[in-house]
């Protein structure tokens, strides 16, 4: 982490905790927040829990994100949720382009671009996910793939005040195999460079999060890297002890630097 950027520890609950259990976890995150001052906390519940979670976390400083959105503001799109609806529900952030959306729901770079713009138009702050597959990494194409994903949405990111980027190597998601701190930092450093090529201010202010089997036992080493500004956490965010331990690692690092 770099002291000029406030750490962001974000929990992506994925398709879990959509009801009362989500509200209960939100209550625990509410209690955690005062213990990690100087660290931004964010939770991304399923759509069905957003309103209750946002109500519970109102005034605590903990951000609430959706995990996806549709790019149109309204209309005949059965089963979809728009950016203005998310705002009405109490979300202020939204995850866009998660690899599970790209992999299982056919999301393309063009679709991700449209969603970032729709979020921005509704004043939702996007967390834009990028990352390579195992085959791409093994073929030595990591930077090419991540660079192309970022280039496709860089204009939209520049237009979205405070957007974050999440580097999530697909092979590390839910597998228990995290990227080594050095390998992660190499990609984060490249992302910082691509942002800087667009604008120094963009590079200086954009938080680049690491995601992929981030756990209490690897958090300190990953968060110590100078271009890793926080985490986007799946499995470990469902348990308050693990999520709290990762947030505490960010707090300890920020306090000592």
The stretch among 16-24, 28-36, 190-198, 232-240 that binds ligand 13P (CB under 6 A) is: 232-240
CB of 238 to ligand 13P, least distance (A): 9
By CB under 6 A, what part of segment 182-211 binds ligand 13P?
Answer: 211
Residue 168 interacts with ligand 13P (CB under 6 A): yes or no = yes
Our finding on whether 233 is near ligand 13P (CB under 6 A) is yes
Q: Which position has the token pair 């950027």?
A: 5
Written as six digits, the tokens of 58 are 């109102």
Count CB atoms within 10 A of the CB of residue 45.
29
Active site residue 138: no
Q: 179-189: string of b/e by CB count within 10 Å (b at 16+)? A: bebeebbbbbe
CB closer to ligand 13P, 126 vs 234 = 234
Side-chain half-sphere CA neighbours of 227 within 13 A: 20
Inter-CA distances, 78 with 6, 49, 74, Å = 38, 19, 10
Q: Pick the closer one to ligand 13P by CB: 78 or 212.
A: 212
Candidates 7, 46, 212, 244: give the one binding ligand 13P (CB under 6 A): 212
Q: Which residues bind ligand 13P (CB under 6 A)?
A: 12, 98, 168, 173-174, 211-214, 232-236
């Amino acid at each position: 982490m770099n002291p000029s950027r406030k750490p962001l520890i974000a929990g992506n609950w994925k398709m879990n905790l959509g009801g009362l259990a989500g509200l209960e976890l939100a209550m625990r995150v509410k209690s955690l927040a005062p213990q990690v001052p100087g660290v931004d906390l964010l939770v991304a519940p399923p759509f069905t829990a957003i309103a209750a979670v946002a109500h519970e976390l109102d005034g605590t400083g903990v951000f609430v994100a959706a995990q996806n959105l549709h790019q149109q503001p309204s209309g005949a799109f059965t089963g979809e949720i728009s950016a203005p609806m998310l705002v009405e529900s109490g979300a202020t952030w939204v995850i866009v382009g998660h690899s599970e959306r790209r992999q299982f729901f056919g999301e393309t770079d063009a679709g991700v671009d449209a969603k970032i713009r729709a979020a921005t138009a509704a004043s939702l702050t996007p967390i834009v996910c990028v990352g390579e597959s195992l085959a791409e990494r093994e073929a030595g194409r990591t930077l090419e793939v991540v660079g192309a994903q970022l280039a496709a949405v860089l204009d939209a990111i520049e237009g979205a005040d405070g957007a974050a980027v999440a580097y999530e190597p697909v092979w590390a998601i839910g597998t228990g195999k995290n990227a080594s701190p050095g390998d992660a930092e190499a990609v984060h450093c490249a992302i910082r460079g691509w942002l800087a090529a667009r604008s120094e201010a963009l590079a200086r202010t954009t938080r680049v999060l690491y995601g992929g089997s981030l756990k209490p036992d690897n958090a300190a080493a990953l968060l110590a890297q100078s271009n890793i500004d926080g985490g986007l956490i799946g499995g470990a965010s469902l348990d308050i002890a693990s999520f709290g331990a990762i947030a505490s690692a960010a707090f300890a690092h920020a306090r000592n630097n």
